Amino acid sequence: MSQSLVIVNGARTAFGAYGGGLATQTATDLAVTATKGALAKAKVDANDVDYVVMGNVLQTSKDAIYLARHVALRSGCKESTPGLILNLLCGSGVMAVANAEMLINSNQAKVVVAGGTDSLSMTPYITWGVRWGSRMGHAELWDGLDIRDTYPNASMGETAENLQADYKISREEQDEFALLSQHRFRDALAKGVFKEEIVPVFLKDRKGKEVSIELDEHPRPETVIEGLQKLKPAFKKDGTVTAGNACGIVDGASALVVMAEDEAKKRGLSPLTRVVSWAVTGVPPRIMGIGPVPAIPMALEKAGLKLEDIDLIEINEAFAAQYLACEKELKLDRSKVNVNGGAIAVGHPFGATGARLLLTLSNELQRRKARYGMVSLCIGGGMGIAMIIERV
């Protein structure tokens, strides 16, 4: 018999700007900080963790293949605790929680840390062929951040331009939505909304002095529409997608402590939310950003719910054009979506974002005493994921 999975609590690092305050931290380092913070907030001992599942998209450090296992060991988990690295690209953080549900319902684990992490600042340049000798001429270096999808031969920004063309979304609409994201994030920050979820990263500056990073570095609260309108297209000469109406490239990690609802009751814990349903599906790769459009109805059907039953929604803002296409197709009420801003403001550390959205949404449901929430992300390669949660 399947058991209801609950999100007991969680934590995330601040998201560091590209080349910013967290640039020297590996994805593993960041995930360890988030995991320790999540366990402390959940009031769960690291020795009680049976499995660590970490989403990670770009393996950017020398020991990256050991990431999830090292997170388990460095966070104080027992040596018998396995670590699984999971890569569903931008959906990795949500899929880590879905994977935890499968582990728990197959009696492989009782307590799981599920989350995601990425250090985009540490992404290396790569060369091929040198191992077998490069007798003459230059060796080409490939930028590991060039995440072009070779199947449709399109960068992620170009897939957003495709959606812009298909759905006739104007540059003005995109810039106005980007401004809304920045201002919603600014207002939430002023209210102290993110203090509940962020744990500080301690590191040493260039002078050897210990400093802590506990504020997101990418948001631009001073953004005005005139500034956004001046930005040049980033992916097409005559395009509409700019650095201002796309998500930020950042570094960060998020972690959630999850377990069966009965296990939480046994331990006397007070979870934030329970997982109601989830779904993953595919869409044409050339318009990968439309992924939430089929994923959301699938998750709703599994839950026996309708869109109007959902009180709050988080849709990852990979690009304003992508969000707006989903909004048009699903006829979303914008007042219920991304109420604290999104990735256009805070940034998108690929593997970490899904878990961040689940944590932010879980806390917001508690704050508003609302019942149902839903998280959804588009996924590179042409996919979408959605997960419905319910306040406990």
- Cβ-based burial of 208 (10 A; exposed 0-12, middle 13-18, buried ≥19): exposed
DSSP 3-state percent helix, strand, coil across the chain (nearest 5): 40, 20, 35
d(CA 324, CA 307): 17
Beta strand 125-126 pairing with 142-143? antiparallel
Return the half-sphere exposure (C-beta side, CA atoms, 13 A cut-off) of residue 337: 21
Strand partners of residue 85: 54
Residue type, 157: G
Candidates 77, 247, 326, 378; catalytic one: 378
CB atoms within 10 A of CB 48: 16
DSSP-assigned states of every residue in 232-281 = PPSSSTT----SSSB---EEEEEEEEEEEHHHHHHTT---SEEEEEEEEE
Candidates 77, 90, 247, 326; catalytic one: 90
378 counts as catalytic: yes
CA dist 66 → 11, 52, 111, 202 (Å): 22, 12, 21, 22
Q: Do 86 and 99 touch, CB atoms closer than 8 A?
A: yes
d(CA 5, CA 98): 9
Strand partners of residue 33: none
Catalytic machinery residues: 90, 378
